[in-house]
Amino acid sequence: MGDTEVKHRKVNRNKNKNEKNKEIPNPAVDPRDEGDGESTPEALPEELTEEPILKKSTSPKKSEKKQRNAGKAGTATAGQSLADLPTLAVTCHFNLLPMLLFGVALATRFYALDQPNSIVFDELHYGRYAGLYQKQTFFFDSHPPLGKQLLALAGYLGGFQGDFKFDKIGSSYNASVPVFAMRAVPALTGSLLIPLVYMIMLQLNYSQWTAALAGFLFLFDNALLTQSHYMLMEPIILFFAMSGVLCVLKFRALERSGNAQAHSYSLRWWGWLLSGSIFLTCALCVKYVGVYSYLLGLALVGHDFWEKVLGNLSLTKKQVFGHAVARFFAFFVVPLMVYIGVFYIHLTTLVNAGPHDSAMSSAFQASLEGGLSSIVRGQPLEVVHGSQVTLRHAHGSPCWLHSHAANYPVKYADKRGSSHQQQVTCYVAKDINNWWIVKRPNRTDLAVAAPLDRISHGEEIQLVHGITGRNLNSHNVAAPASPTKQEVSCYVDHNVSMPAQDVWRVEITNREEIGDVWHALESMVRLIHVNTSVALAFSGRMLPDWGHNQHEIVGDVMVNQPNTIFNVEEHRYTRNEDEKDRQLELMTTDFIPLEPVVMGFWEKFFELQIRMLFISNENVQNHMYTSSPWEWLVLTRGIAYWVSPDSNAQIHLLGNIFIWYSATIALAAYCGLLIFYLLRQRRQCYDIHEEAWNQFRTTGEVLLLGYVFHFLPYFFVDHTLFLHHYLPALAFKLLLNAALVEHLYYLTRLIFAKQFFNWMCVLIVLTWMSGILMVFNKFLPLCYGLGPMNATQILDLKLRETWDFIVHKP
């Protein structure tokens, strides 16, 4: 039925252009006149059609404009008499709506900003990192550092010394922590988000009322408010992402305007292009998920390039090439520079050793002040016959080659037999049993004497365990936890015709950089078992109780794998107790590197990248507040951020359920409409005006695509997920929601001729908005942690069974 009606009112795009123009009154005020100068000259019909209703509300603007005109007129008349003097006049005009929204945003975001004065949720991490920046202490985190740097900067300006110990969620801050200053970063970026989305909607050719509606949705979403109120990363990343999207849209507008040629390479053109890519890269530098915003920007710019530049046959090959190079520069070279720059600051600031050092390689650690460098400074560089060393497994989580005075059990639990020789393991802590002595097979004395007997690549050695004096050995016996690999033991002669096979060949894998001689710290070595050609390897499995739950060490046929690489970490020369002692000491001093290990920025940068991207396995298992992407659509679960020790007052991350549900419905409605239009257009039925369709399509390109980019990947990751991971996608969804409201309004105008229905529409939207406000207000205590609250008040808020609020007081 509705179908026929629409058909009846089908718009004929080709013939009725004039008629259409007649139907639509000429605009009295184009809202975009006030704002920015970049918007396209031609006005859009659906915007115009709103005019009759908007008239009343836009009156302040109108009067403003009148005043402006009056002002102009005034100067003009004055100028009559003093025609030869230059006019001195400042004409300024404000767009009141975004100002108002921004004001409310600031008020909500900054309200009671330093309350609660204790650690809320992930402030535990981010606050701690900000503190470590003050102390210039190195830390390892799997996210890039920009957001933490901003927090640290705010902390620095607020006088934070980094002395506070962030121990657990809920402990109170003391006076040394500038809580307000640090929380001001997310609060400010979170507030700026609102004018930003306002401008984005204008840029997408929506009316200012729709833009204001988008701002309203952002403003009164409890999740965005909660997130902006504490030291968390999401508002920062959202701010950068939205700024980037806005710049890219402005850039597109230039590209798509009538005289695109004239704008090319202009200052504005470069400005929007570069700022777009820089902002998007900044989003990426706050958290890696920002990469999806970057990809969205890239897709938009790339699509325009394909259609507007490459497809523009009036451009010469050279011009096309020039455009390609400019975009490549802006979207690949500049981001790379920004990204490296952020890490440059990170690595040059953090020069002191700290708690996470062991995540990094020995050389990296040695380059930090006060950590390993204080231990290894002054230790000999070259490994020689008689060197006492600890061997660190160089890849992944740190552990050291270890043995202890206990043998492998005769029979394992799965009834396999062992050699019953002394266990060799990889131990995750520093221990006296990690020391080994490097020895040539043919020599018996162990003292280091001049001339030094250096060990080089390809030479054969034995490794003697320092405490038990037994040799590292391997043989054709299945390893305890990995039956397909070979057992490694410290040789014990049980007199069972099992000879010692304890000679190993040293292979230095990075000898192109380091040279053939085995160096402590720097040389990455593989120990190849001479009899069976297996490599000493870390298998990744744990030994059971009899092996004190240490990691298994095996002989692996697969030589060429990262698990077989070790390096010498601590190193000293064996000295004898006799008279050679002094002599040796004198001698060794010559070989001590006098300066600490210096690692260049690039080496550090690449090592950190590799560890951040591939080796970080921060996986919080069994966390109480995890949620899955499907649950985000209907807000099944929140996250408890903080609870007051005295009452049930608490902070709980929850979206404004009214907004979230309507946004989900809007998403479905948009997709339904899109499919409907596409199918109808395939049958040559054009139900809406071409401009309306273009706007609808662009909305899909930017907002729907943005939503999909930020949401779909979560279905495929194997991490523990939380509700706050959804916020970037939500931002696009809220914008889509606002856009859909305007489109529906357009449709009512198209279908129903009577004014009455338009008023109904406005009324429905207003009711919806007041509903949003009510829900927002109801859940406000959970955003600020306002109290005190009793159990019934909390349970009153529990609209869904699955929301786990904390009730620990009556």
* Among 312, 221, 216, 213, CA closest to 264: 312
Which one of 169, 334, 514, 559 is in contact with other proteins (CB under 8 A)?
559
* Among 440, 452, 457, CA closest to 382: 452
CB 807 within 8 A of CB 794: yes
- Choose the stretch contacting other proteins; rule: CB under 8 A; options: 31-39, 66-74, 266-274, 716-724: 716-724
Read off the tokens for 795: 């349970």
Tell me 484's DSSP state. Answer: T
Which one of 70, 157, 262, 310 is in contact with other proteins (CB under 8 A)?
310
H-helix or E-strand containing 190? helix 179-203
Q: Which residues contact 384 (CB under 8 A, 6 or more apart)?
A: 438, 448, 452, 453, 454, 455, 573
Helix, strand, or coil (residue 586): helix
Which residue type occupies 83?
A
Which positions from 590 to 619 touch other proteins by CB under 8 A, shown as an x/- string? ---------------------------x--
Tokens 């809220």 locate to 734
49 binds other proteins (CB under 8 A): no
CB 501 within 8 A of CB 508: no
Q: Identify which of residues 245 and 300 has a Cβ nearer to other proteins in the complex.
A: 300
Which one of 19, 84, 414, 545 is in contact with other proteins (CB under 8 A)?
545
Least distance from other proteins to the Cβ atom of residue 123, Å: 22
Least distance from other proteins to the Cβ atom of residue 622, Å: 6
Least distance from other proteins to the Cβ atom of residue 716, Å: 3
Which positions from 282 to 301 touch other proteins by CB under 8 A, shown as an x/- string? --------------------
Q: Identify which of residues 91 and 621 has a Cβ nearer to other proteins in the complex.
A: 621
Q: Identify which of residues 19 and 545 has a Cβ nearer to other proteins in the complex.
A: 545
Q: Identify which of residues 53 and 260 has a Cβ nearer to other proteins in the complex.
A: 260
63 binds other proteins (CB under 8 A): no
Q: Rg (Cα) of the chain, in Å, rounded?
A: 34
CB 289 within 8 A of CB 237: yes
Q: Identify which of residues 559 and 587 has a Cβ nearer to other proteins in the complex.
A: 559
Decide the pairing of beta strands 400-407 and 422-427: antiparallel
Q: Identify which of residues 358 and 563 has a Cβ nearer to other proteins in the complex.
A: 563
Least distance from other proteins to the Cβ atom of residue 807, Å: 9
- Distance between CA atoms of 138 and 34, rounded to whole angstroms? 49
Helix, strand, or coil (residue 540): strand
Total binding residues for other proteins by CB under 8 A?
A: 30
Distances (CA, A) of 594 to 365, 423, 523, 582: 17, 38, 19, 20
Q: CA triplet 408, 409, 411: central angle to 5 degrees?
A: 130
Least distance from other proteins to the Cβ atom of residue 526, Å: 12
Q: Identify which of residues 175 and 624 has a Cβ nearer to other proteins in the complex.
A: 624
802 binds other proteins (CB under 8 A): yes
Which one of 8, 90, 624, 756 is in contact with other proteins (CB under 8 A)?
624
Which positions from 744 to 783 touch other proteins by CB under 8 A, shown as an x/- string? ----------------------------------------
Tokens 């969620």 locate to 169
Residue 133 has a CB neighbour count (10 Å cut-off) of 24
716 binds other proteins (CB under 8 A): yes
Q: Identify which of residues 89 and 679 has a Cβ nearer to other proteins in the complex.
A: 679
Q: Identify which of residues 191 and 539 has a Cβ nearer to other proteins in the complex.
A: 539
- Choose the stretch contacting other proteins; rule: CB under 8 A; options: 238-246, 401-409, 540-548, 764-772: 540-548
H-helix or E-strand containing 535? strand 535-542
- Choose the stretch contacting other proteins; rule: CB under 8 A; options: 250-258, 344-352, 493-501, 678-686: 678-686
- Choose the stretch contacting other proteins; rule: CB under 8 A; options: 196-204, 309-317, 573-581, 756-764: 309-317
549 binds other proteins (CB under 8 A): no
The secondary structure of 465-476 as a DSSP string is ETTT-PBEEEEE
Tell me 433's DSSP state. Answer: G
Q: Identify which of residues 532 and 609 has a Cβ nearer to other proteins in the complex.
A: 532
Residue 656 has a CB neighbour count (10 Å cut-off) of 26
Least distance from other proteins to the Cβ atom of residue 562, Å: 10
Which residue type occupies 435?
W
Which one of 77, 590, 718, 810 is in contact with other proteins (CB under 8 A)?
718
Residues 480-539 contacting other proteins, CB under 8 A: 533, 538-539
- Choose the stretch contacting other proteins; rule: CB under 8 A; options: 96-104, 205-213, 306-314, 361-369: 306-314
The secondary structure of 173-188 as a DSSP string is P-TTS-HHHHHHHHHH
- Distance between CA atoms of 470 and 113, rounded to whole angstroms? 63
Tokens 């497809």 locate to 311
Which one of 27, 170, 354, 396 is in contact with other proteins (CB under 8 A)?
396
Residue 115 has a CB neighbour count (10 Å cut-off) of 14
- Choose the stretch contacting other proteins; rule: CB under 8 A; options: 109-117, 155-163, 675-683, 703-711: 675-683
Which one of 22, 168, 582, 682 is in contact with other proteins (CB under 8 A)?
682
Least distance from other proteins to the Cβ atom of residue 625, Å: 9
H-helix or E-strand containing 707? helix 705-711
Q: Which residues contact 335 (CB under 8 A, 6 or more apart)?
A: 277, 278, 280, 281, 284, 294
321 binds other proteins (CB under 8 A): no
Q: Identify which of residues 157 and 558 has a Cβ nearer to other proteins in the complex.
A: 558
Which one of 313, 432, 496, 594 is in contact with other proteins (CB under 8 A)?
313
Q: Which residues contact 413 (CB under 8 A, 6 or more apart)?
A: 544
Least distance from other proteins to the Cβ atom of residue 545, Å: 7
683 binds other proteins (CB under 8 A): yes
Q: Which residues contact 640 (CB under 8 A, 6 or more apart)?
A: 624, 625, 650, 651, 652, 653, 804, 805, 806
* Among 171, 207, 265, CA closest to 35: 207
* Binding-site ranges for other proteins (CB under 8 A): 306, 310-311, 313, 320, 396, 533, 538-541, 545, 557-560, 563, 617, 622, 624, 679, 682-684, 715-718, 802, 804
